Amino acid sequence: MSDQRQRLLDVAQAEGRLTSVVGAVFDRYGAVWAGGAGDAPGLDGQYRIGSITKTMTAVLVLQARDAGLLDLDDRLGDHLGDVGYGEVTVRDALAHTSGMQSEPRGPWWERTRGTDFLALAAANDGQGRVAGAGEWFHYSNLGYGLLGEVVARRRGSPWRVLVSERLLRPLEMRATSYLPRPGAQPGWSVDHFTGIRVHEPLTDTGAMAPAGQLWSTLADLVAWGQLLGGARPDVLAEASLAEMQRPVTDDYGLGLMLGLHPGGRLVGHNGSMPGFMAALHVDPDSGIGAVVLTNATTGIDPRELAVSLIEGDPDADDARPAPWRPTRSLPDTVRGVPGVWFWGNTAYDVRWHNEGLELRAMARGNVVTDRFEVVAGTLVGVTGYHRGERLDVVRRPDGTIRNLECATFVYTRVPYDPEVDIPGGHPRR
């Protein structure tokens, strides 16, 4: 099973173009397996966890309800005064059934320094509503910004202080923090076609922090997963946790994503912020769960990977793809080539990947059909139908690329480009 789980991480790193990915499987007693791929830091490496933060905000709300400080059917306005969406209930905000807009107005909040709550409330007056209360599930980051302020006002302390005092301290989650600590993993985004990495911005999201601000580690999130799995009734009462886990819509409860795996139920949450993805899901009946953290903006489905770690991969063979390596710079031979190309009407995603040019058939799930590598300044096929053949980059007098040619196969930027003399033929294979 350990080899199966490690292979899952290796494949995710290679195929998802992840700088690093780490994962852990746990039960009610602690971690039972942990691994990493790429430039992985281990159990104590800190990553941004995005919307897993929402589960902590939700637990703070349920704690406040249990203490008699609020009711889930209270209106937000009962605690926040005259604000936009003041008519929304706490329950609907927790379950994303309020009908309020998904994002706060203004610049992209995840990549922009956040404002205080007064500025957030002033910019969001309730006119962005997309549905009536309870009509359907509509994920709202804004709703969790408002919920964080509700618990802050009812407890008389800032949200970040409440997280620390009421959750992190009793659970001994010492490596979880509001801002990254020295040595935290940098956030990366990878150019789709060239494989060149760029840093994503590091932002303090201010009043939107309850929706996705926190940084954490595998070890700390194992402790949080144990709480969500029912092992810490001293922090959240069993009845309140069960209430969070009950479906409000098909796949969401009160602050928790709901789902199934071959062994039973799952509760937890995914998370993403620029440069990071995360997932934490646990079977509340068995207490078995998994955590996945990566410093990439895209490339994998973190929940799918977490569930696979729980189950293992009994059908997997021992083969592992070569690890993905970030592109440092493009060779002059392929400069301007990566992008979408067409052979007739057949679309190809053409990428520079691990020092080679790959043609991926888009209609076939981006399967790699051919790979070329630079040999003595020329692109030569090394796998696929074009193995051994030369790929010529045909340029205009001004240096821009007109088309690609390989053994009478002509690739153009648009299907059957009228600028290019394309001989007749039939699709291969």
286 and 347 in a common domain: no
| Structure token digits, residue 373 | 């590598």
Count of all residues that appear for the chain in the document: 429
| Structure token digits, residue 88 | 């929304």
CB 20 within 8 A of CB 47: no
Q: Do the domain assignments include residue 317? A: no
338 and 305 in a common domain: no
20 and 140 in a common domain: yes
Domain that holds residue 397: 332-411
Q: Kindly report the backbone phi and psi dihedral angles of residue 105, in degrees, each rounded to the nearest multiple of 5, phi listed first.
A: -70, 150
Give the confidence band of 316 by pLDDT, cuts at 50, 70, 90: low
From the CB of residue 215, how many other CB atoms can be counted at a distance below 10 Å? 22
Distance from C-alpha of 29 to C-alpha of 52, rounded to nearest angstrom: 21
Q: Which of 110, 100, 75 shows the shortest CA–CA distance to 209?
A: 110
354 and 305 in a common domain: no
Q: What is the pLDDT of residues 163-209, one digit of tens each?
A: 999 999 999 999 999 999 999 999 999 999 999 999 999 999 999 99
- pLDDT score of 156 more than 60: yes
Q: What is the CATH number of the domain that holds 304?
A: 3.40.710.10
Q: Which of 62, 64, 56, 11 shows the shortest CA–CA distance to 38?
A: 11
CA 108 to chain centre: 16
Q: What is the mean pLDDT of residues 396-400?
A: 93
Q: Do the domain assignments include residue 416? A: no
- Average pLDDT value for the chain: 95
Q: Kindly report the backbone phi and psi dihedral angles of residue 311, in degrees, each rounded to the nearest multiple of 5, phi listed first.
A: -85, -25
306 and 341 in a common domain: no
Instruction: Please state at what angle helix 52-66 crosses helix 238-245, rounded to 10 degrees.
Output: 130
Distance from C-alpha of 337 to C-alpha of 349, rounded to nearest angstrom: 11
Q: Do the domain assignments include residue 265? A: yes
3-state secondary structure (DSSP) of residue 148: helix
Q: What is the pLDDT of residues 91-115, one digit of tens each?
A: 999 999 999 999 999 888 999 899 9
Q: What is the mean pLDDT of residues 317-327?
A: 87
Give the confidence band of 422 by pLDDT, cuts at 50, 70, 90: confident
32 and 96 in a common domain: yes
- pLDDT score of 320 more than 90: no
Q: What is the mean pLDDT of residues 296-322?
A: 87
292 and 368 in a common domain: no
How confident is the model at residue 237, as a pLDDT?
Answer: 98
- pLDDT score of 54 more than 60: yes
Choose the weakest-confidence range: 42-46, 220-224, 326-330, 358-362.
42-46
Q: Do the domain assignments include residue 182? A: yes
Q: Do the domain assignments include residue 8? A: yes
Distance from C-alpha of 407 to C-alpha of 243, rounded to nearest angstrom: 64
How many structural domains is the chain composed of?
2
How confident is the model at residue 95, as a pLDDT?
Answer: 98
How confident is the model at residue 423, as a pLDDT?
Answer: 67
Q: What is the pLDDT of residues 225-283, one digit of tens each?
A: 999 999 999 999 999 999 999 999 999 999 999 999 888 999 999 999 999 999 999 99
